[in-house]
Amino acid sequence: MNLSAIDIAVIVLYIVVTLGIGFVLSRLASRNIESYFLGGNKIKWYFLGLSNASGMFDISGTMWTVAILFVYGLKSAWLPWLWPVWNQVFVMVFLAIWMRRSNVMTGAEWILTRFSGRGGRLSHIIVICFAVMSMIGFMAYFFEGIGKFAVQILPWDLSCDLGFATLTSAQSYALIIIGITTLYTLKGGMYSVVAADVFQFLIMTVSCLIIGWVAFTSVTGEQLAAATPAGWDNLFFGWKLDIDWSGLIPAVNYKIASDGYELFGCLVMLMIFKGIFASLAGPVPSYDMQRILSTRKPSDAAKMSGMTMVALSPRYLMIAGLAVLSIVYLSPELQSMGANVDFETILPIAITRFIPTGLKGLLLAGLLAAFMGTLAAFVNSAPAYLVNDLYKRYIKPDAEPKTYVRFSYIASIALVIVGVGFGFFAKSLNSLTLWITSSLYGGYAAANVLKWIWWRFNGYGYFWGMLAGLVASTLKLIFLPDVTDIYLFPAILAVSFVGCIAGSLLTPPDDEQTLLNFYRSVRPWGFWKPIHDKAVALDPTFEGNKDFWRDVVNVVVGIVWQMCLVVLPIYIVIHKSAGVWISLGVLIVTSIILKFNWYDRLKYADKGYEE
């Protein structure tokens, strides 16, 4: 890609400012590990929300989303339910409040507020392993992804022979960008991560607005209709997908068949089934959970999660803009590629062809910001588990605060080095990386749902449930690698539930005082009657959580609200005025409902909470 001097200057300025943020804020972060990893619980919730959104603005995810919008049209808005994207709604409505009431630093430490004894220690250890292994796997993914992207957008050949090894240009770029990100993250801890994320978010949002405007003014609705099959611009669906690209780009039909999404109605039903359990489980022990634990109080944690969804909405202007420009102007080129089309290359091709000189540097800085923001979030979150949950708890519980901060530097650097080591062999270790991430996440749902809602669920049940899900997911990967993961999710979930229930019922309940402390501080709803009765006996003024049905209504309304935030920018870019007005109207109505039924009641979330 040919870059002008202005484009290069914008990119260099972005890197210099990002590094400066880390050094300026290093004094605030070095006071103690609470300041380093949680910002001393003093950062405003809206800054944390922007930071969380920046961390979720992953460029590889953006490339994937551009590709699926190109292929599936408006129906692609349902495909992020595979994760599910609306787990943030559950977090916003009630899970963030429950988690923040614990007053802990990490997800592993949180587990010890729920489970006790040897079972608690086993559950504690498996969460630490989950967090560390996830960080290493994602670091390898970032190393390969950043290098491949940077070598396409930056003009210099940085390949070099070190004598003992030869670095490709992509590997050199990856080492430089990861090094810069690690440096500002180490210096400023959570303070610099959040400050840099907010700065990066502003760059990315401006980039999204620019691309959306370029697409809106360059492509008419008639041009788009002529270049897409019937039903492409329809959000809703039947049992089958019924999008046929045969007369336009036949290779797209091969892509749909290889994805296994022809039975779209069945797919959405399975996504809802999986989504309910995965969302109830709560966020995995990663940067999202760290942002929740960094807020000042429970109500702020809920507001932060809502802010994250609002802040991500402009991203879809970029996604829709790049997809629309590619459909109208790149279709002949893509059609000439035959069956060998790589739809994930649409994003860099579109940037090269459609973004004018001067603005290209700003956009590329924004995309680098997306990489670096997500990477920084992992670099800052995972070492907390080694420092707080291993070093401080088991090795040096009485060390000076700055000792823990120095050990945090060491832990961060060590994890980055190990992750980069995996990244050097990313091609040969790709299946291993997929095994780490999909297997760990596959075994997460059942155990982490039961921890909220069933008093008899104990640490042994948590450990064996996670392990059973891990084994089931691994067997799926080995023996059924070609089956789409979501179709086997019910079976993996069932195996994990068996491990959870058997592990709990075959071992004694957790310590009663631990359960009472957890129930009285977190106040979850669910099957807690024996513990509730004892809590009332100790304190007759105690009231349990009676908000189950209110939370259910808010979750349903919140999912519709979030979907409007996704499709509204897309409707604007593709010139569907009816869709714009309908989605805007539904967004307003759902916002009003959430204002009265959720936001106004957040003042009760802090009842009995001590900062």
Confidence of residue 426 (pLDDT cuts 50, 70, 90): low
Confidence of residue 75 (pLDDT cuts 50, 70, 90): very high
pLDDT digits (tens, 9 = 90+) for 439-454: 556 667 889 899 999 9
- Residue bearing the bigger pLDDT, 377 or 561: 561
Q: Tell me which of 81-85, 292-296, 371-375, 607-611 is least confident.
A: 607-611
Predicted pLDDT of residue 582: 97
- Residue bearing the bigger pLDDT, 99 or 138: 99
Average pLDDT over residues 251-266: 80
Residue type, 482: D
Average pLDDT over residues 97-112: 80
Q: Please, what is the average pLDDT of the chain?
A: 82
Average pLDDT over residues 187-203: 73
Q: What angle do CA 494, 498, 499 make, to 5 degrees?
A: 120
Q: Which residues have CB under 8 Å from 402's CB, separation 6+?
A: 30, 32
Average pLDDT over residues 362-376: 72
Average pLDDT over residues 302-312: 93
Predicted pLDDT of residue 36: 57
Predicted pLDDT of residue 429: 39
Confidence of residue 427 (pLDDT cuts 50, 70, 90): low
- Residue bearing the bigger pLDDT, 415 or 545: 545
Q: Token match 């996670």: residue? A: 466
Average pLDDT over residues 574-591: 96
Q: How far apart are the first and last CA of the chain?
A: 52
Residue type, 32: N
> Is a pLDDT exceeding 60 seen at residue 6?
yes
Average pLDDT over residues 356-371: 73
Predicted pLDDT of residue 285: 66
Distances (CA, A) of 482 to 80, 440, 487: 20, 19, 11
> Is a pLDDT exceeding 50 seen at residue 433?
no
- Residue bearing the bigger pLDDT, 353 or 111: 111
Confidence of residue 431 (pLDDT cuts 50, 70, 90): very low
d(C-alpha 230, C-alpha 405), whole Å: 58
Average pLDDT over residues 180-194: 69
- Residue bearing the bigger pLDDT, 481 or 37: 481
Predicted pLDDT of residue 481: 73
The DSSP code sequence of 532-558 is: HHHHHHH-TT------HHHHHHHHHHH
Distances (CA, A) of 274 to 81, 82, 277, 488: 9, 8, 6, 10
Predicted pLDDT of residue 575: 94
Which of 78-92, 489-503, 559-573: highest mean pLDDT? 559-573
DSSP code, position 527 = B
Q: Tell me which of 22-31, 219-228, 292-301, 549-558 is least confident.
A: 22-31
Which of 264-268, 337-341, 575-579: highest mean pLDDT? 575-579
Average pLDDT over residues 367-386: 72
Average pLDDT over residues 548-553: 96
Q: Tell me which of 279-288, 303-312, 422-431, 469-478 is least confident.
A: 422-431
Q: What angle do CA 560, 286, 130 make, to 5 degrees?
A: 120
> Is a pLDDT exceeding 70 seen at residue 47?
yes
Predicted pLDDT of residue 512: 93
Residue 546's CB is within 10 A of a number of other CB atoms, namely 9
- Residue bearing the bigger pLDDT, 345 or 268: 268
d(C-alpha 592, C-alpha 587), whole Å: 9
- For residue 568, the Cα-to-chain-centroid distance in whole angstroms is 21
Distances (CA, A) of 58 to 169, 178, 211, 286, 316: 22, 15, 17, 15, 13
Predicted pLDDT of residue 460: 96
Share of the chain above pLDDT 90, in %: 29
Indicate the SS3 state at residue 161.
strand
- Asked if residues 487 and 270 have their Cβ atoms less than 8 Å apart, the reply is yes
The DSSP code sequence of 9-63 is: HHHHHHHHHHHHHHHHTHHHHTS-HHHHHHGGG-S-HHHHHHHHHHHH--HHHHH
Directed axis angle between helix 287-294 and helix 45-56, to 10°?
A: 180
Q: Which residues have CB under 8 Å from 364's CB, separation 6+?
A: 3, 7, 10, 11, 153, 351
Q: Token match 């789409």: residue? A: 484
Predicted pLDDT of residue 179: 83
Average pLDDT over residues 277-291: 78
Average pLDDT over residues 248-261: 80
Confidence of residue 21 (pLDDT cuts 50, 70, 90): low
- Residue bearing the bigger pLDDT, 392 or 118: 118
Average pLDDT over residues 99-122: 83
Domain segments of the chain as ranges: 1-79+131-259+314-427
Average pLDDT over residues 218-225: 91
